[in-house]
């Protein structure tokens, strides 16, 4: 038997035995505190096993992801309807729709035209290409949803990478990272920013202005850009070997004569999606599906090509892991993690100790939960911490919001990361290599800036 599959089989057996053992022990005493904590404990075990399988990639990421809801249902943590509700999640619908819109750009040759034009303007300088992509991404995501930004730029960036003859991962990963960083600049860039504002509003505290987040978000975006252009660039994937092109055409292979009218239509549809997402006159997923239908009915892409343009690894990865995020929230497992870390802080009144605890808590959870869910879970806890210690709630909630948005280390923490996984030919470890340094940079930035802009005490 192939060594890789042998290791995979052994790991799966060990994981199954571990889960079975924990379930058996927990449910052996159906009363008392242990019984009430049973779902949370099982959820934490499934989280740990999933993390190992995600990092090692002993089995495909999509397989691991879809095994999660099955394990949660089998152990009685959630019901089947809840476990598989991720398949109808609005972000999953958004992904599918924008993959089809992007597929139309490939089929009509627009992506290649844009890629060739950018490369020509940059005179073949890959450094200029990378800088341009990140600058555009950071700027757009500061006023657009970071998910929407990546969704509309994805096909364009693939065209740029193929035209410049550089590995797609070297463009895709910076695209995702800069979308998350740029989203920290304003209220609408990333959901955690809006979440902490709403929590403060509801509690009657002074809240944040639209661009007040830029005090911390803009320096972090600039620092991230500098990192990606220097040290981070050396850590990016060096080949296209992991790319599965079955769902999208390589722009270099498009040799058939393209219809100018269909090129115009597919371009206008993409621009319409951008405008709608910027103005929010329509929900993102509705705009994406409408755009997908338009490019199909106008003949920019055939029905079969539309199906093939969808990266199903991305769909199943995101849909499967949403059940884990739900379980962490509903079973109290996320709260258990929060309580454990907060317990370490004790009665400390040092702003830096408080920030470190809040950052570790939010920054750790957001790598495996949606950043929206982790922030929604922790923001109310942040208010209690502030009230108990007499600290400024703005400072604590800003720390939690920024840390929740710093989902750099895994492909499942935030939709932009998931979107680029398949098209970029990326592995889980690629996110770890880039994400951990960016997480550290974000932490240092918070320590340096937040206490000065929003003092913890006084």
Would you call 348 helix, strand, or coil by DSSP? coil
Min mean pLDDT across 38-47, 189-198, 248-257 is at 248-257
pLDDT in tens, 104-143: 887 888 877 776 777 777 776 888 888 888 888 888 788 6
Q: How many domains does the chain have?
A: 2
pLDDT value at residue 16: 60
Q: How many CB atoms lie within 10 A of CB 123?
A: 8
Residues 6+ apart with CB under 8 A from 247: 99, 308, 309, 310, 311, 312, 422
Task: Tally the residues of the chain.
Answer: 458
Kindly indicate the confidence band of residue 28, based on its pLDDT and cuts at 50, 70 and 90: low
> Does residue 110 lie in a domain region?
yes
Share of the chain above pLDDT 90, in %: 21
- Highest mean pLDDT pick, 2-16, 83-97, 262-276, 382-396: 262-276
Domain boundary among 311, 331, 360: 311
Kindly indicate the confidence band of residue 39, based on its pLDDT and cuts at 50, 70 and 90: confident
φ/ψ of residue 311, rounded to 5:
-85, 100
Calpha distance 29→14 (Å, rounded): 24
pLDDT value at residue 350: 78
Indicate whether 430 pLDDT > 90: yes
> Does residue 432 lie in a domain region?
no
Structure tokens at 389: 């210690």
Calpha distance 242→170 (Å, rounded): 13
Quick one: 1 exposed, middle or buried, by C-beta within 10 A (0-12, 13-18, 19+)?
exposed
Kindly indicate the confidence band of residue 348, based on its pLDDT and cuts at 50, 70 and 90: low
426 secondary structure, DSSP code: -
> Does residue 65 lie in a domain region?
yes
CB 451 within 8 A of CB 208: no
Say which residue, 253 or 317, is predicted with more confidence. Answer: 317
Structure tokens at 396: 């604590």
Q: What is the mean pLDDT of residues 192-218?
A: 84
Indicate whether 227 pLDDT > 90: yes
15 with 124, same domain?
no
Say which residue, 193 or 377, is predicted with more confidence. Answer: 193
Kindly indicate the confidence band of residue 359, based on its pLDDT and cuts at 50, 70 and 90: very high
226 with 301, same domain?
yes
pLDDT value at residue 175: 93
Calpha distance 308→106 (Å, rounded): 12
Q: Could you give the dihedral angle defined by the CA atoms of residues 49, 50, 53 and 59, in that order, rounded to the nearest 10 degrees? A: 120
270 with 160, same domain?
yes
119 with 241, same domain?
yes
CA distances in angstroms from 247 to 46, 150, 157, 378, listed in the order given? 31, 18, 16, 38
> Does residue 27 lie in a domain region?
yes
> Does residue 455 lie in a domain region?
no
77 with 95, same domain?
no
pLDDT in tens, 54-103: 767 677 777 888 888 998 998 888 898 888 888 887 777 877 887 788 78
Min mean pLDDT across 152-166, 215-229, 247-261, 274-288 is at 247-261
CB 442 within 8 A of CB 118: no
119 with 106, same domain?
yes
Calpha distance 412→417 (Å, rounded): 7
Indicate whether 13 pLDDT > 70: no
Q: How many CB atoms lie within 10 A of CB 371?
A: 28
Domain boundary among 29, 64, 83: 83
Q: At CA 246, angle to CA 242 and CA 251, rounded to 5? A: 85
Say which residue, 181 or 270, is predicted with more confidence. Answer: 181
Kindly indicate the confidence band of residue 254, based on its pLDDT and cuts at 50, 70 and 90: very low
> Does residue 452 lie in a domain region?
no
pLDDT value at residue 34: 55
Q: At CA 218, angle to CA 270 and CA 206, rounded to 5? A: 105
Calpha distance 372→35 (Å, rounded): 29
Calpha distance 54→334 (Å, rounded): 19
Structure tokens at 346: 């004790």
CB 396 within 8 A of CB 22: no
Kindly indicate the confidence band of residue 332, based on its pLDDT and cuts at 50, 70 and 90: confident
Say which residue, 394 or 140, is predicted with more confidence. Answer: 394
134 with 34, same domain?
no
Min mean pLDDT across 250-254, 296-300, 336-340, 409-413 is at 250-254
20 with 101, same domain?
no
Indicate whether 197 pLDDT > 80: yes
pLDDT value at residue 311: 74
Kindly indicate the confidence band of residue 457, based on its pLDDT and cuts at 50, 70 and 90: confident
Longest distance between any two alpha carbons in the chain, whole Å? 71
CA Rg, the chain, in Å?
Answer: 22
155 with 24, same domain?
no
Share of the chain above pLDDT 70, in %: 82
Structure tokens at 328: 């962490």
pLDDT value at residue 240: 65
Structure tokens at 281: 């006159």
Kindly indicate the confidence band of residue 250, based on its pLDDT and cuts at 50, 70 and 90: very low
Say which residue, 107 or 439, is predicted with more confidence. Answer: 439
> Does residue 354 lie in a domain region?
no
pLDDT in tens, 150-165: 887 888 888 888 888 8
76 with 92, same domain?
no
pLDDT value at residue 316: 82
68 with 103, same domain?
no
Instruction: Share the mean pLDDT of the chain.
Output: 80
Q: Name the residue among 158, 170, 168 with its Cα closest to residue 254.
A: 158
Domain boundary among 311, 330, 362: 311
Kindly indicate the confidence band of residue 323, based on its pLDDT and cuts at 50, 70 and 90: confident
What angle do helix axes 32-56 and 61-74 make, rounded to 10 degrees? 170
248 with 182, same domain?
yes
Residues 6+ apart with CB under 8 A from 393: 200, 203, 205, 382, 383, 386, 387
Q: pTM of the entire structure?
A: 0.69
CB 438 within 8 A of CB 227: yes
Q: At CA 188, angle to CA 115 and CA 384, rounded to 5? A: 140
pLDDT value at residue 251: 44
Range of the domain at 129: 88-190+210-311
Q: Name the residue among 437, 436, 426 with its Cα closest to residue 237.
A: 426
From its phi and psi, is residue 57 left (phi > 0), alpha (psi between -120 and 50) or beta?
A: left
> Does residue 149 lie in a domain region?
yes
């Amino acid at each position: 038997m192939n060594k890789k599959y042998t290791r995979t089989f052994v790991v799966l057996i060990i994981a199954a035995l571990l889960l079975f053992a924990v379930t058996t022990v927990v449910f052996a005493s159906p009363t008392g505190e242990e019984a009430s904590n049973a779902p949370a404990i099982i959820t934490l075990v499934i989280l740990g096993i999933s993390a190992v399988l995600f990092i090692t990639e002993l089995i495909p990421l999509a397989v691991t992801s879809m095994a999660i809801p099955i394990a949660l249902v089998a152990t009685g943590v959630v019901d089947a309807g809840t476990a598989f509700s991720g398949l109808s999640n609005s972000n999953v619908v958004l992904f599918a729709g924008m993959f089809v819109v992007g597929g139309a750009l490939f089929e009509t040759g627009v992506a290649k035209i844009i890629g060739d034009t950018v490369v020509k303007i940059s005179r073949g300088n890959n450094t200029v290409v990378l800088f341009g992509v990140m600058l555009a991404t950071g700027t757009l995501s500061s006023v657009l949803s970071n998910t929407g930004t990546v969704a509309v730029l994805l096909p364009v960036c693939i065209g740029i990478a193929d035209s410049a003859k550089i590995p797609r991962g070297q463009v895709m990963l910076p695209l995702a990272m800069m979308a998350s960083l740029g989203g920290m600049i304003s209220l609408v860039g990333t959901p955690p920013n809006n979440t902490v504002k709403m929590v403060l509003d509801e509690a009657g505290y002074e809240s944040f202005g639209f661009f007040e987040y830029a005090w911390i978000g803009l320096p972090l975006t600039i620092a991230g850009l500098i990192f990606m252009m220097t040290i981070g660039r050396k850590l990016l994937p060096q080949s296209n070997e992991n790319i599965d092109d079955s769902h999208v055409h390589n722009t270099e292979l498009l040799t058939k004569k393209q219809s100018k009218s269909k090129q115009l239509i597919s371009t206008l549809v993409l621009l319409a999606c951008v405008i709608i997402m910027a103005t929010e006159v329509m929900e993102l997923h509705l705009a994406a599906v409408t755009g997908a239908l338009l490019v199909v009915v106008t003949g920019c892409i055939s029905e079969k090509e539309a199906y093939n343009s969808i990266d199903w690894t991305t769909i199943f990865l995101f849909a499967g892991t949403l059940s884990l995020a739900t379980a962490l929230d509903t079973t109290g497992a996320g709260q258990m993690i929060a309580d454990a870390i907060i317990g370490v802080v004790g009665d400390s009144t040092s702003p830096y100790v408080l920030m470190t605890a809040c950052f570790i808590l939010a920054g750790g959870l957001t790598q495996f939960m949606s950043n929206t869910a982790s922030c929604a879970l922790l923001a109310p806890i942040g208010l209690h911490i502030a009230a108990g210690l007499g600290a400024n709630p703005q400072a604590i909630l800003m720390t939690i919001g920024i840390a929740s948005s710093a989902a750099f280390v895994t492909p499942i923490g935030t939709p932009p990361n998931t979107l680029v996984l398949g098209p970029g030919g990326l592995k889980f470890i690629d996110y770890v290599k880039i994400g951990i340094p960016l997480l550290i940079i974000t932490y240092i930035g918070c320590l340096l800036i937040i206490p000065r802009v929003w003092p913890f005490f006084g």
